[in-house]
Amino acid sequence: MVAERPGLPASGTEEDSAIVRVLSYNIRSLRDDRAALARVIRACAPDLVLIQEAPRFFRWRKAAERLARSCGLVYVTGGGTTAGPMVLSSLRAQVERTEDILLPRTPGLHQRGFATAVVRIGGARLGVLSCHLSLAAQERYAQAGLLLERLARWDVPYAVAAGDLNDRPRGRSFRRLAGALTDAWAAKPWGGEYTSTPDDPHQRIDAVFTTDGIEVLGCGVPHGLPGVREADLRAASDHLPVLAALRVPAGA
């Protein structure tokens, strides 16, 4: 499904708010076309990139730094320290603090984690969390609860969580998050809905969520965005990215 594309607002700062562009992207450990990936990310002009399946093994820090440089961004946190989730940012973001979190692990299943940071963009102060939830339904549901607990404990007025949920909108874990947060695609659909797979988009398993008070100006897969080529979207990863433009009020 592709919604109308009136144009996604550019980043900017207003007297009482900041427009922040957030990109969520599962990059499959950089196993695909890295040049295409960098072109897609650059064309999306994000302030924050919440990545899943970042490099996390041998020399992963160097790989993360190379990716950030190729996209005109800087590394913030995550990667090998979070079993995959990572945060990159533009120079527009001032990083206050970061925390890498490893989640309780079910024996026999992959380790999962959260990459988190608190940033200031313009006059807005914002918590961000990148996640990649479990393939196992019970563990995934518990991880969704831990995500909500983390957001509730933050001493920030606003927060954004995004990632690969391994769940569809009707699934228990997706509904648990959407019941407590704003599902940005549902609030203001823009571009494409389905994120998997690039060659046959048929399911939405990647999403951006916001806390109360953040206005969603548009959210979706950036089909048709100037500079984003369909060939690059297919070549860059086995997921499609989700781009959201958010108006975040200024706050202490």
Return the ∠ at Cα 115 (arms to 106 and 47), rounded to 5°: 150
| pLDDT of 163 | 98
Q: Give φ, ψ of 233 to 5 degrees.
A: -60, -40
Helices (H), the chain: 34-44, 60-70, 137-153, 172-180, 184-187, 230-236
Element spanning 245, H or E: strand 242-249
| pLDDT of 252 | 64
| pLDDT of 58 | 86
Closest by CA position to 45, among listed 241, 238, 236: 241
> 23 has which bridge partners?
49, 243
Quote the tokens at residue 205. 């398993």
| pLDDT of 2 | 45
> What structural domains does the chain harbor?
12-249 (3.60.10.10)
Return the ∠ at Cα 72 (arms to 22 and 47), rounded to 5°: 20
* Residue 182 to residue 72: CA distance in whole angstroms: 29
Q: Whole-model pTM?
A: 0.96
* Residue 22 to residue 45: CA distance in whole angstroms: 9
**Residue 182: partners with Cβ closer than 8 Å, 6 or more residues away:** 209, 210, 211, 212, 214, 216
Q: In a structure prediction context, what are the per-residue pLDDT tens digits for the chain, which is 252 residues long? A: 445 445 799 999 887 999 999 999 999 999 999 999 999 999 999 999 999 999 998 899 999 999 999 999 999 999 999 999 999 999 999 999 999 999 999 999 999 999 999 999 999 999 999 999 999 999 999 999 999 999 999 999 999 999 999 999 999 999 999 999 999 999 999 999 999 999 999 999 999 999 999 999 999 999 999 999 999 999 999 999 999 999 999 976
Q: Give φ, ψ of 236 to 5 degrees.
A: -75, -35
Instruction: Say if CB 218 and CB 245 are below 8 A apart.
Output: yes
DSSP state of 159: E
Element spanning 206, H or E: strand 206-210
* Residue 70 to residue 48: CA distance in whole angstroms: 15
| pLDDT of 14 | 82
| pLDDT of 152 | 96
In angstroms, how far is CA 65 from the centroid of its own chain?
Answer: 18
| pLDDT of 6 | 53
